[in-house]
Amino acid sequence: MKKKHFNIPVFIPEAACPFQCIYCNQRKISGKLHLPDALEINNIIEDHLTTLPKKDATVELAYFGGNFTGFTSDVQKNFLNLVNPYIRSGEISGIRLSTRPDYINPEILDLLKDHHVKTIELGAQSMDDEVLKKSKRGHTARDTEMAANMIIERGFNLGLQMMIGLPGDTFEKSLYTAQRITELGATETRIYPTLVIRDTILEKHYLEGRFEPLTLEDAVSWSAELLQVFEEAKVKVLKLGLHPSEGLLSGSDLVAGPWHQSFRELVLTRIWRQKLQLLLGLDSETVCIEVPSKEINYAVGYGGSNKKMLLQKFISVEFNTNAQLNQRSFNII
């Protein structure tokens, strides 16, 4: 039986980050306003461990946000050493962290290797230099390529995060970014639609009419295509859309952009919609569709949207599950 993976997330907003990206206000995005101390991190670990299964589970401590490797080596060691007791006890198997492509070098990787880091996620965001420059990322696509190569050569798992709808972005550029992520050897990725968050440079540009975010329709459409690129390359998509912080849920931190609490479900609904539209050519008044059990909600669609689409053609539409089916295969009976 394959073990289920769990992360214990610890957010370090804007920590050690030398640049202010045009879209970034991590305190609002993550809902975290301060750098956690040792006591807080230990409490986070203990609280999560009480809720996780003791068997058939792999648990990693995940330092998310900020620029972890931008800390001094002593600060990095302090954060990493906090996890040692749990690694010795076997409750945590290792550490993952997120950082910038231009803050990776052999010395940093040696330190991380010596302190139980297993996975490094890089905020690539785009592999197009024009998009990176307009977003004030402070690094190039080449920086991401070199960092990715070093990470894989040292035996770490590589994650490469991407954003869609950044200034200067197009679907073709995002598709190219996704293809490069697969070619660089990433085993994991995250797809984040660009949102206009309060108190960012991007908010100023938006209010001045210099930036227009993707519509929700376009963000879903782009992401549906990108997801299938990653699935074909067997790159796991860990996240579609931003984590719903309190400020995003209430709308107090969101100025504009394709935010939806169920963004992933919308994307999976779109993929199924494209498949099920082929049935509109059937010469029948009724249709019964068998789908894998894990896909039933997406096949029916968010808010029943795919079923409603079919009901415009058919008098009766029925969805059933079939345990023999996998992925997104389906039968018509």
Residue 105 sits at φ, ψ, to 5 deg, of: -150, 170
Q: Which residue is associated with the tokens 């610890």?
A: 10
Q: How confident is residue 277, by pLDDT bands cut at 50, 70 and 90?
A: very high
Q: How would you label 277-304 residue by residue, b for 16+ Cβ within 10 Å and e otherwise? A: eebeeeeeeebebbbbeebbbbbbbbee
Query: What pLDDT, in 10s, does the model give residues 48-103?
Result: 999 998 888 899 999 997 789 999 999 999 999 999 999 999 999 999 999 999 99
pLDDT score recorded for residue 30: 47
Cβ atoms of 189 and 162 closer than 8 Å = yes
The token duo for 260 is: 């939806």
The token duo for 72 is: 């001094």
pLDDT reading at 33 higher than 90? no
Q: How confident is residue 22, by pLDDT bands cut at 50, 70 and 90?
A: confident
Q: Work out whether strand 196-197 and strand 254-256 pair parallel, antiparallel, or are unpaired.
A: antiparallel
> How many angstroms separate the CA atoms of 118 and 94, rounded?
6
pLDDT score recorded for residue 333: 87
pLDDT score recorded for residue 82: 96
**What is the mean predicted confidence (pLDDT) over 258-270?**
96
Q: How would you label 106-132 residue by residue, b for 16+ Cβ within 10 Å and e otherwise? A: eebbeebeebbbbbbbbbbbbbbeebb
The proportion of the chain whose per-residue pLDDT surpasses 70, expressed as a percent, equals 93
Q: Domain residues of the chain, as ranges?
A: 4-261, 276-332
Helix (H) or strand (E) holding 2: none
pLDDT score recorded for residue 34: 72
Q: Which residue has the higher pLDDT, 12 or 248?
A: 12
Q: What is the homologous superfamily of the domain 4-261 according to CATH?
A: Aldolase class I (3.20.20.70)
**Confidence (pTM):** 0.91
> How many angstroms separate the CA atoms of 90 and 58, rounded?
10
pLDDT reading at 199 higher than 70? yes
pLDDT score recorded for residue 105: 97
The CA-atom distances, in angstroms, between 10 and each of 50, 85, 259, 323 are 16, 17, 23, 37
Cβ atoms of 192 and 163 closer than 8 Å = yes
**Mean of per-residue pLDDT scores for the chain:** 92
**What is the mean predicted confidence (pLDDT) over 245-253?**
63
